[in-house]
Amino acid sequence: MRRMIFAALLAGTVATPAFAQDAAPFTGARIEGLIGWDRSKVEDAGREDGVAYGVGVGYDFQMGGAVVGAEAEVADASTKECGSNVFAAGDELCFKAKRDLYVGGRVGGVLGQNTLIYGKAGYTNARFGYDYDDGASGVANFENGRNLDGIRVGAGLEHAIWPNAFLKAEYRYSNYEDGVSRHQTVAGFGFRF
């Protein structure tokens, strides 16, 4: 019985490095779903928290222990800040974070066999909207939105859990025109092809 247990342990030990090498080739196309925390802030006007969610695609090249790649993302958020009695009693003015587009690159290093640590930077364009409800007749109600250009920087960890699947955690900061900024922490699950 001891010999069988020893043989099973030895076989598992020999097979594990082979799996690990196949499990984390950080090369190729990838697609991922993202969800996390979003904090949008307007300079001199306060901040509000919400949920960020989206999908991303990318392509990475692994060269030894280094990884470089390009990526793009389409996201949205539930972040909304409202103020009451702004211009008249009973009215409401709301600031909403809406769709967010990103394209950029990332550079990182492989830790062990299955984990990638990386930094990222790129261009982002987000839509922010304003809604006003006069609280009465509705004659003065309006809705307006504006697209703002910006830059995004961030850092994250990606861990291969199967040969073609991974989990990731990422922090990113986006700085837009007109004093608007955004902090996000997201988690993701994706597949590499």
Bridge partners of 127, per DSSP, are: 147
The pLDDT tens digits for 29-43 are 999 999 999 998 887
The pLDDT tens digits for 164-184 are 999 999 999 999 998 889 999
Among positive and negative, which fits the CA dihedral 64, 66, 68, 72? positive
CA-nearest of 148, 143, 189 to 40 is: 148
Contacts with 162 (C-beta within 8 Å, 6 or more apart), sequence order: 23
pTM value is 0.78
Split at pLDDT 50, 70, 90, the class of 10 is very low
Buried residues in 97-125 as b, exposed as e (16+ CB within 10 A): bbbbebebebebebeeebbbebebebebb
- Name the CA radius of gyration of the chain, rounded: 23
- The tally of domains found in the chain comes to 1
- How many angstroms separate the Cα of 154 from the Cα of each of 18, 45, 167? 32, 24, 17
Mean pLDDT, the chain, whole residue set:
85
Work out the angle at residue 152's Cα, subtended by the Cα atoms of residues 30 and 71, and round it to the nearest 5 degrees.
15
User: What CATH number is given to the structural domain containing 120?
Assistant: 2.40.160.20
Q: Which domain holds residue 144?
A: 2-192
